[in-house]
């Protein structure tokens, strides 16, 4: 059983829906074909009023050589000129807060850019005071790298520095050297970065590869993988040949997040400041550790389980049940169906299933993250070789993330309203379907996917059962149906029933008799139910108030 919290005591980050913006691709305000902060500010009314989300997460907009499009930071406390200025950010924050939108920004603690002044100093000589700010090690006697660790982005995780005769560690690109979080000065400097943004009033941080910041101090070789001892949510080339025992997630990581949580909590004067960590650990027992033993670490680690779960009723139910079971008392769940590193949801599960996905995401217990463009069903865009941007795709063909990062499709004009029509080219090409699939068109169509998202978001915000009710899966339904109740004592529960199949299915439940349909994913039926049966059309989801009181 979960403890019940009164609405006004429920912290904002549990009631919110997080909308992720990839700043390069949301709105270009100055006609260089690259999205920017002023562009985002100009679309805040869409987010807060038209769509109805209440928090945005901005992927990095900090000073960067863009080797990994902003995840290689050269100055954590300033804005890259391609995105605007610090005062553009202040204005964005101000305008967002005026509209009741919380602003979560990206925090990249594991690595800086190789152009960051800290690294330039660190690599300048072995006795530079900042040498130990990064992870340097001697070669093996034969000159080869210190151990067998691999970069996720391909090749060894070590780069030779001829000048000073040592290797430095980079878990990602060689342009992204790993910081040494065991050095107190690094911790101090990186906590100062948090203070800088907290003082400005940002509401929280999304922490990039949060589990990576502590590694084995002895730099031991990773064991080789022989079976399924370790896994990610998708294939990752040679990186999968090892069990990543020593190059990430050292137990000391937890002490850092306890300290970070204290810092965030010291800013809690009016509203909690929030942290959500990118933690790609698929062993739930290890994953929950990031909440902290006394819920004193991250507010939440991102739950990516559904990214690797078959799009099938029983599989999804099992994933949700397993998560609910694994959560420590009082810990809050969350769900992710897409982000800037993954194939687009509509491409992964198919366009027909998108409506069901919307209902699932917005009715499960927990905080949903919605990736920009998924509300209109944007799909992966084929990027010809000469237009490819993502370094991951260049190193490991097939794993490139450009297809899910194309410009937002606002209207049917040239460049889809993302950039002025006169612009020669946008940084990534627009989807070929942007003339038919865009915000303007879908707003005009009462039964569009976008209008389904709007209805679901509005329901969610006004329903205590959806916002904080318990989750109770229903057993007596056919294989292809995932049905659950969200309920609170003394309040009308909500029953959600999702048909994952391409066939019509009839369900029979005593709770249906006398119930009332609130919303169908087809947006074409509502009202009383006069039987204990209900027909669900192919891929149809239904939200209803049961007729009988549930306990």
- Positions annotated as catalytic residues are 208, 278
CB of 62 to ligand NOJ, least distance (A): 12
Nearer to ligand NOJ, 41 or 113 (CB): 113
CB of 395 to ligand NOJ, least distance (A): 12
- Should residue 80 be labelled a site residue for Ca ion when binding is judged by CB under 5 A? no
Question: Which partner in Ca ion, ligand NOJ, none is near 114 (CB below 5 to 8 A by kind)?
Answer: none
Where do we find the tokens 């562009």? 39
Contact 404, 380 (CB under 8 A): yes
No. of helices (H) and no. of strands (E), the chain: 15, 21
Question: Which partner in Ca ion, ligand NOJ, none is near 71 (CB below 5 to 8 A by kind)?
Answer: ligand NOJ
Would you tell me how many other CB atoms lie within 10 Å of the CB of residue 176? 25
333 alpha-carbon distance from chain centroid: 13
- Should residue 32 be labelled a site residue for Ca ion when binding is judged by CB under 5 A? yes
**Distance separating alpha carbons of residues 212 and 300, to the nearest angstrom:** 16
Q: What are phi and psi of 491, to 5 degrees?
A: -135, 150
**Distance separating alpha carbons of residues 247 and 313, to the nearest angstrom:** 36
Question: Which partner in Ca ion, ligand NOJ, none is near 172 (CB below 5 to 8 A by kind)?
Answer: ligand NOJ
Binding residues vs ligand NOJ (CB under 6 A): 68, 71, 108, 172, 208-209, 278, 340-341
Query: Which residue of 27, 28, 157, 439 would you call a contact of Ca ion, by CB under 5 A?
Result: 28
Residues 6+ apart with CB under 8 A from 105: 57, 58, 61, 197, 202, 204, 205, 206
Q: Which residue is nearest to ligand NOJ (CB)?
A: 71
Nearer to Ca ion, 80 or 175 (CB): 80
**Distance separating alpha carbons of residues 154 and 168, to the nearest angstrom:** 16
- Number of shown-chain residues binding Ca ion (CB under 5 A): 5
Nearer to Ca ion, 58 or 396 (CB): 58
**SS3 category, 442:** helix
Query: Which residue of 10, 30, 451, 501 would you call a contact of Ca ion, by CB under 5 A?
Result: 30
**SS3 category, 255:** helix
Question: Which partner in Ca ion, ligand NOJ, none is near 68 (CB below 5 to 8 A by kind)?
Answer: ligand NOJ
3-state DSSP: the chain helix, strand, coil percent, rounded to 5? 30, 15, 50
Contact 33, 224 (CB under 8 A): no
Buried b or exposed e, range 352-362, using 16+ CB within 10 angstroms: ebbbbbbbbbb
- Should residue 337 be labelled a site residue for Ca ion when binding is judged by CB under 5 A? no
Strand partners, 34: none
- Should residue 360 be labelled a site residue for Ca ion when binding is judged by CB under 5 A? no
Question: Which partner in ligand NOJ, Ca ion, none is near 36 (CB below 5 to 8 A by kind)?
Answer: Ca ion
Nearer to Ca ion, 40 or 67 (CB): 40
Question: Which partner in Ca ion, ligand NOJ, none is near 209 (CB below 5 to 8 A by kind)?
Answer: ligand NOJ
Strand partners, 58: 21, 105
CB of 450 to ligand NOJ, least distance (A): 26
Interface positions, 36-75, toward Ca ion (CB under 5 A): 36
Nearer to Ca ion, 393 or 407 (CB): 407
- Should residue 289 be labelled a site residue for Ca ion when binding is judged by CB under 5 A? no
Question: Which partner in Ca ion, ligand NOJ, none is near 106 (CB below 5 to 8 A by kind)?
Answer: none
**Distance separating alpha carbons of residues 174 and 432, to the nearest angstrom:** 34
The angle at the Cα of 114, spanning 425 to 236, to the nearest 5 degrees, equals: 70
Nearer to Ca ion, 28 or 175 (CB): 28
Nearer to ligand NOJ, 346 or 399 (CB): 399
Residues that bind Ca ion (CB under 5 A): 28, 30, 32, 34, 36
């Amino acid at each position: 059983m979960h403890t019940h919290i009164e609405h006004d005591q429920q912290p904002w980050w549990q009631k919110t829906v997080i909308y992720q913006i990839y700043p390069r691709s949301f709105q270009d305000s100055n006609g260089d074909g690259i999205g920017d902060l002023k562009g985002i500010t100009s679309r805040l009314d869409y987010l807060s009023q038209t769509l109805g989300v209440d928090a945005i997460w901005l992927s990095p907009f900090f000073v960067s050589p863009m080797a990994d499009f902003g995840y290689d930071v050269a100055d954590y406390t300033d804005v890259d000129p391609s995105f605007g200025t610090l005062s553009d950010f202040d204005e964005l924050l101000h305008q967002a807060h005026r509209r009741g939108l919380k602003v979560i920004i990206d925090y990249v603690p594991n690595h800086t850019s190789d152009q960051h002044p800290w690294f330039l100093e660190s690599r300048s000589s072995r006795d530079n005071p900042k040498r130990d700010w990064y992870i340097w090690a001697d070669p093996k006697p034969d000159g080869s790298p210190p151990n067998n660790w691999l970069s996720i982005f391909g090749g060894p995780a070590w780069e030779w520095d001829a000048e000073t005769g040592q290797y430095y560690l980079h878990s990602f690109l060689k342009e992204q050297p790993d910081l040494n979080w065991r050095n107190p000065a690094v911790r101090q400097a990186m906590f100062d970065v948090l203070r800088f943004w907290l003082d400005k009033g940002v509401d929280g941080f999304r922490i990039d590869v949060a589990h990576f910041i502590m590694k084995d101090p002895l730099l031991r070789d990773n064991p080789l993988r022989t079976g399924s001892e370790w896994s990610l949510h998708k294939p990752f080339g040679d990186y999968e040949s090892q069990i990543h025992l020593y190059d990430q997630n050292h137990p000391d990581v937890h002490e850092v997040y306890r300290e970070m949580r204290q810092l965030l909590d010291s800013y809690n004067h009016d509203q909690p400041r929030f942290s959500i960590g990118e933690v790609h650990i698929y062993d739930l027992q290890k994953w929950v550790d990031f909440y902290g033993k006394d819920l004193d670490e991250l507010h939440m680690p991102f739950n990516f389980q559904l990214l690797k779960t078959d799009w099938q009723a029983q599989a999804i139910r099992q994933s949700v049940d397993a998560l609910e079971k694994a959560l420590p008392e009082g810990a809050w769940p969350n769900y992710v169906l897409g982000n800037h590193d993954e194939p687009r949801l509509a491409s992964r599960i198919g366009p027909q299933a998108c409506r069901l996905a919307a209902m699932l995401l917005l009715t499960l217990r927990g905080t949903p993250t919605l990736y920009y463009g998924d509300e209109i069903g944007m799909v992966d865009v084929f990027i010809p070789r000469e237009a490819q941007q993502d370094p991951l795709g260049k190193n490991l063909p097939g794993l490139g993330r450009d297809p899910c990062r194309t410009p937002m499709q606002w209207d049917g004009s040239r460049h889809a309203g993302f950039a002025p029509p006169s612009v020669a080219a946008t940084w990534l090409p627009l989807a070929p379907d942007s003339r038919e699939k865009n915000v303007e068109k879908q707003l005009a169509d009462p039964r569009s996917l976008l209008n389904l998202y709007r209805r679901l978001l509005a329901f969610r915000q006004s329903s205590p059962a959806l916002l904080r009710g318990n989750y109770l899966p229903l057993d007596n339904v056919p294989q292809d149906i995932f049905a659950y109740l969200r309920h609170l004592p003394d309040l009308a529960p909500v029953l959600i029933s999702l048909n994952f199949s391409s066939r019509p299915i009839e369900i029979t439940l005593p709770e249906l008799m006398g119930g009332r349909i609130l919303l169908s994913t087809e947006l074409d039926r509502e009202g009383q139910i006069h039987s204990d049966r209900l027909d669900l059309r192919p891929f149809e989801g239904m939200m209803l108030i049961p007729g009988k009181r549930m306990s």
